[in-house]
């Protein structure tokens, strides 16, 4: 099931990327989305973007991997580190240059800030159990929406960059979670 969801999300990322490849201006949809948040207070927008910043993302990864290691859940610890690293690397070195969508002076699709945040959030959801999993997924979705609003409002990304980044990050983490060593070792207590 996870691989099917991952494949669908990857297909969505690629399809959206093809639609906006080489674009240097906002589509009608992206311009409308920007219009909703462009007048929000700058301080609020900066706070909303904070969870996507590298120190925050790296701290969350490190803490989660440490908890997994302390519980001797080595496959889970490796998953915590590998999924975001792979998602960010593929996004930065393959997807962004392939699609060539530019916002101001930087490659924008898929959003790297979103990829880093959502890959970690997806890892946390995969490692969680029962009702905790639903709570982590709901919190992660809310954080992603709020961070996306911040990035659009600050002029870092178009909304479709955020959507593509979220889909790609989720696809990558779900695909890696389906690896036999991660699935076999997940039977222990959640971190």
- The predicted-structure confidence for 86-125, as pLDDT tens digits, reads as follows 999 999 999 999 999 999 889 999 999 999 999 999 999 9
Three-state DSSP at 189 gives coil
Residue 29 clears pLDDT 80, i.e. is over it: yes
Three-state DSSP at 145 gives helix
Spatial distance between the Cα atoms of 107 and 95, rounded to a whole number of angstroms? 10
Per the listing, tokens 């969350």 go with 60
What confidence score (pLDDT) does residue 168 get?
Answer: 98
Token pair in block for residue 44? 């609020």
Which pTM was predicted?
0.90
Spatial distance between the Cα atoms of 57 and 117, rounded to a whole number of angstroms? 6
Report the DSSP beta bridge partners of residue 103: 106
C-alpha neighbours within 13 Å on the C-beta side of residue 35 = 7
Spatial distance between the Cα atoms of 148 and 52, rounded to a whole number of angstroms? 9
Residue 189 clears pLDDT 60, i.e. is over it: no
| Residue 149 or residue 183, greater confidence | 149
* Phi-psi map region of 102: left, alpha, beta (phi>0 left; psi -120 to 50 alpha): beta
What confidence score (pLDDT) does residue 117 get?
Answer: 97
**What integer best gives the mean pLDDT of the chain?**
92
CB-count burial class (<10 Å; 0-12, 13-18, 19+) for 17:
buried
Residue 184 clears pLDDT 70, i.e. is over it: no
Residue 40 clears pLDDT 90, i.e. is over it: yes
Angle, CA of 176, 120 and 65, to the nearest 5°: 85
What percentage of the chain reaches a pLDDT higher than 70?
A: 94
Spatial distance between the Cα atoms of 114 and 175, rounded to a whole number of angstroms? 18
Report CA-CA distances (Å) from 90 to 9, 33, 163, 181.
Answer: 15, 27, 16, 22
What confidence score (pLDDT) does residue 185 get?
Answer: 47
Q: What is the mean pLDDT of residues 167-179?
A: 95
Spatial distance between the Cα atoms of 76 and 64, rounded to a whole number of angstroms? 9
> Which pLDDT band holds residue 27 (cuts at 50, 70, 90)?
confident
Spatial distance between the Cα atoms of 141 and 149, rounded to a whole number of angstroms? 12
Q: What is the mean pLDDT of residues 161-189?
A: 81
């Amino acid at each position: 099931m996870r691989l099917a969801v991952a494949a669908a999300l990857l297909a969505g990322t690629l399809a959206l990327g093809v639609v906006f490849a080489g674009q240097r201006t906002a589509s009608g949809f992206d311009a409308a989305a920007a219009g909703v948040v462009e007048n929000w207070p700058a301080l609020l927008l900066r706070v909303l973007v904070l969870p996507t910043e590298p120190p925050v993302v790296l701290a969350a990864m490190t803490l989660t991997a440490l908890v997994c290691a302390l519980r001797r859940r080595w496959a889970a610890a490796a998953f915590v580190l590998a999924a975001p690293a792979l998602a960010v690397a593929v996004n930065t070195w393959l997807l962004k240059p392939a699609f060539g969508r530019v916002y101001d002076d930087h490659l924008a699709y898929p959003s790297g800030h979103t990829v880093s945040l959502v890959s970690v959030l997806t890892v946390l959801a995969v490692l969680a159990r029962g009702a905790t999993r639903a709570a982590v997924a709901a919190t992660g979705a809310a954080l992603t929406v709020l961070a996306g609003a911040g990035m659009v409002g600050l002029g870092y990304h178009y909304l479709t960059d955020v959507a593509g980044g979220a889909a790609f990050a989720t696809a990558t983490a779900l695909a890696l979670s389906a690896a036999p060593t991660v699935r076999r070792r997940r039977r222990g207590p959640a971190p």
